[in-house]
């Protein structure tokens, strides 16, 4: 028998301004269930999540929360004002009986001391602090709105592992495809005010969505034929009974309204970068580039050549110096030593992740036109601001809307609209994917694929990097940067190969040591019996541990396990952690013995 839901929303309606934002939306969340909530920017995802928390009241509909259920909510823009330290902020989210030590422990894992002043935090630090507040109580239900925004790669990967280890039910809004594929077990699609549900993970969502839209197109075609028949009757039909005629005219008006609603999904963004004349073949060349702030090395001895048409993704932890490197490579900042040669005929357009170019008090239309009437200078032509807005999915009535009231995704689209209107042959994109919905990300990806210029891209979106980047420049620490061919997944594979190669080569320097220390005891010419026996047994043990890990993961994949057997869930989780630790130790021991055997054999 299915377990009763922790949270249930039914027939939720909400109107903000003109047309309804939510019109019969809803979903249910069972214990331990992991749902991703997807839809276009501005469709009402965050609003629906706020209704789920009880923070916002719907015009009509039902919200049911199981008595005793603990809920924690991570908003897109957390408010940390009124707290003296970050630890105070996290502790304020703990409930009666929650262990306070988890607050300090999570902050420490996220690279914070708990003594920071919330007023001085960066966007990434504020996000990490808000995550600690949401996760520390281990609630029954987690509602997460864009949890990966402003986070660096290591923190996103930590967040994935932490969420997988929790037994909490979750509803997640995110543009990070990789995160959604890893975590989700169901998808709720919010589209034109209504919700549809897919009881599979996000990996199957896009194919399912295409099937739904294709069916809508077929239904719209049938509706067109019915409208044509009714219009034919209007022109040529017998008018003997007036009441019947009036009814059919009303029905025709209803059909036309239905058709107008049916074709709305076809309206979407139409991104196109205005390209300037070709730049020189060499866009930017760095030689022995060094830059530091105090004792902190940002770049050390970097040699890098960026050619016309390259799409270079720049990745690394927050504070590694990605934005500084962008400024150095484009000549906006001066290195401490070394040289940067910027190419000829460059027309640079920059997309700033902080969106400092946007004045919250100006209207959307004034931001696009510069306050100069109703026309936008798009490349070498002028376009009416309303038409250009529609290309980026803004409605005409939003023209006089202040920028400050736009959603995060709408501000992201506005920044893209401003940037892409200017001719360029070098796009410098610093975190362009923040807050963008999946459809807009697809359009941005397609635009970059057709762009003949050069792209420098800072992003923490792993899937986007895989789709866009031709090479990845990775911050390895202490000012060292290494370029890898391909996208993010290719970079991970190459780094793993290099790590294994380094381990195999590690014993080589020890051969020179006996000459410097002649008193040392000579090394044995063969493995001891104990080591030989271990080397023979370890492959079998590794295979057994891998099979055990797969078995335990299959058990934990059951979303209802925690509700049925919480003690069994805890025990299985602990067994999985122990098995993974044993597997790591066994693999390292086998590698150590195999390297020793090869070294003795070659010696």
Measured from the Cβ of residue 238, the count of other Cβ atoms closer than 10 Å reads 8
Was 365 annotated as part of a binding site?
no
CA distances from 103 to 136, 145, 280, 453 (A): 5, 20, 53, 47
- The C-alpha atoms of residue 166 and residue 187 are separated, in whole angstroms, by 19
Was 320 annotated as part of a binding site?
yes
Was 318 annotated as part of a binding site?
yes
Was 120 annotated as part of a binding site?
no
CA distances from 263 to 223, 258, 387, 395 (A): 11, 9, 18, 15
Q: Are 30 and 2 in contact (CB under 8 A)?
A: yes
**Chain centroid, CA 202 distance in Å:** 13
- The C-alpha atoms of residue 293 and residue 277 are separated, in whole angstroms, by 37
Was 316 annotated as part of a binding site?
yes
Was 45 annotated as part of a binding site?
yes
Helix ranges (DSSP H) in 397-470 = 408-420, 438-450, 462-468
Was 44 annotated as part of a binding site?
yes
Was 41 annotated as part of a binding site?
yes
Was 313 annotated as part of a binding site?
no
- The C-alpha atoms of residue 100 and residue 501 are separated, in whole angstroms, by 44
How many CA atoms lie less than 13 Å away from 71 in the CB half-sphere?
21
Was 39 annotated as part of a binding site?
yes
Length reported for the chain: 603
Which residues have a Cβ under 8 Å from the Cβ of 522 and sit 6 or more positions away?
A: 514
Which residues have a Cβ under 8 Å from the Cβ of 151 and sit 6 or more positions away?
A: 124, 127, 128, 159, 318, 460
- The C-alpha atoms of residue 175 and residue 461 are separated, in whole angstroms, by 9
Was 276 annotated as part of a binding site?
no
Was 599 annotated as part of a binding site?
no
Measured from the Cβ of residue 558, the count of other Cβ atoms closer than 10 Å reads 14
- Residue 536 burial by Cβ neighbours in a 10 Å radius (0-12, 13-18, 19+): exposed
- The C-alpha atoms of residue 529 and residue 539 are separated, in whole angstroms, by 17
- Binding site, by residue number, is 39-46, 316-323
- Binding site for ATP, by residue number, is 39-46, 316-323
């Amino acid at each position: 028998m299915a377990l009763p839901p922790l949270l249930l929303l039914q027939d939720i309606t909400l109107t903000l301004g003109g047309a309804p934002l939510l019109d019969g939306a809803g979903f249910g969340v069972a214990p331990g269930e992991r749902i991703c909530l997807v839809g276009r920017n501005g469709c009402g995802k965050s609003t629906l999540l706020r209704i789920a928390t009880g923070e916002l009241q719907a015009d009509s509909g039902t919200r049911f929360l199981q008595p005793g259920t603990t809920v924690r909510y991570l908003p897109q823009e957390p408010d940390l004002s009124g707290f003296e330290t970050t630890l105070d902020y996290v502790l304020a989210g703990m409930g009666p009986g929650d262990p306070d030590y988890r607050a300090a422990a999570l902050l420490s894992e996220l690279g914070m001391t708990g003594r920071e002043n919330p007023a001085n935090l960066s966007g990434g630090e504020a996000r990490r602090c808000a995550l600690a507040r949401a996760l520390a109580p281990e609630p029954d239900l987690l509602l997460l709105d864009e949890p990966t925004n402003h986070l660096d790669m290591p923190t996103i990967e930590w967040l994935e592992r932490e969420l997988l280890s929790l037994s909490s039910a979750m509803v997640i809004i995110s543009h990070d495809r990789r995160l959604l594929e890893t975590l989700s077990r169901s998808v709720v699609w919010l589209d034109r005010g209504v919700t549809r549900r897919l009881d599979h993970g996000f990996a199957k969502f896009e194919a399912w969505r295409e099937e739904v839209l294709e069916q809508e197109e077929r239904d719209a075609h049938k509706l067109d034929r019915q409208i044509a028949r009714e219009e034919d009757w209007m022109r040529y039909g017998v008018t003997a009974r007036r009441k019947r005629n009036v009814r059919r005219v009303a029905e025709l008006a209803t059909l036309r309204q239905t058709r107008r609603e049916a074709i709305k999904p076809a309206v979407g963004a139409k991104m196109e970068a205005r390209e300037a004349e070709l730049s020189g073949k060499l866009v930017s060349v760095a030689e022995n580039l060094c830059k530091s702030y105090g004792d902190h090395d940002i770049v050390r001895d970097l040699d890098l050549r960026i050619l016309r048409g390259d799409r270079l993704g720049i990745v690394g932890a927050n504070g590694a110096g990605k934005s500084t490197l962008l400024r150095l490579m484009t000549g906006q900042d001066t290195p401490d030593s070394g040289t940067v040669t910027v190419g000829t005929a460059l027309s640079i357009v920059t997309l700033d992740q902080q969106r400092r170019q946007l004045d919250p008090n100006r209207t959307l239309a004034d931001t696009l036109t510069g306050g100069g009437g109703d026309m936008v200078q798009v490349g070498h032509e002028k376009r009416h601001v309303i038409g250009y807005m529609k290309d980026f999915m803004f409605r005409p009535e939003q023209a006089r809307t202040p920028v400050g009231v736009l959603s995060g995704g709408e501000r992201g689209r506005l920044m893209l609209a401003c940037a892409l209107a200017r001719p360029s042959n070098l796009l410098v994109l610093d975190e362009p994917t923040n807050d963008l919905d999946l459809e807009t990300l697809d359009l941005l990806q397609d635009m970059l694929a057709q762009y003949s210029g050069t792209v420098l891209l800072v992003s923490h979106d792993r899937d986007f990097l895989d789709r866009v980047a031709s090479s990845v420049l990775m911050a390895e620490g202490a000012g060292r940067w290494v370029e890898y061919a391909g996208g993010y997944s290719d970079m991970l594979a190459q780094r793993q190969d290099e790590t294994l190669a380094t381990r195999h080569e590690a014993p080589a320097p020890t051969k020179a040591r006996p000459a410097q220390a002649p008193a040392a005891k000579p090394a044995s010419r063969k493995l001891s019996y104990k080591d030989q026996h271990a080397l023979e047994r370890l492959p079998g043990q590794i295979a057994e541990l891998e099979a055990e890990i797969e078995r335990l993961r299959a058990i934990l994949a059951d979303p209802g396990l925690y509700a049925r057997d919480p003690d069994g869930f805890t025990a299985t989780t602990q067994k999985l952690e122990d098995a993974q630790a044993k597997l790591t130790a066994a693999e390292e021991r086998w590698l150590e013995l195999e390297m020793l055997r090869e070294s003795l054999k070659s010696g």
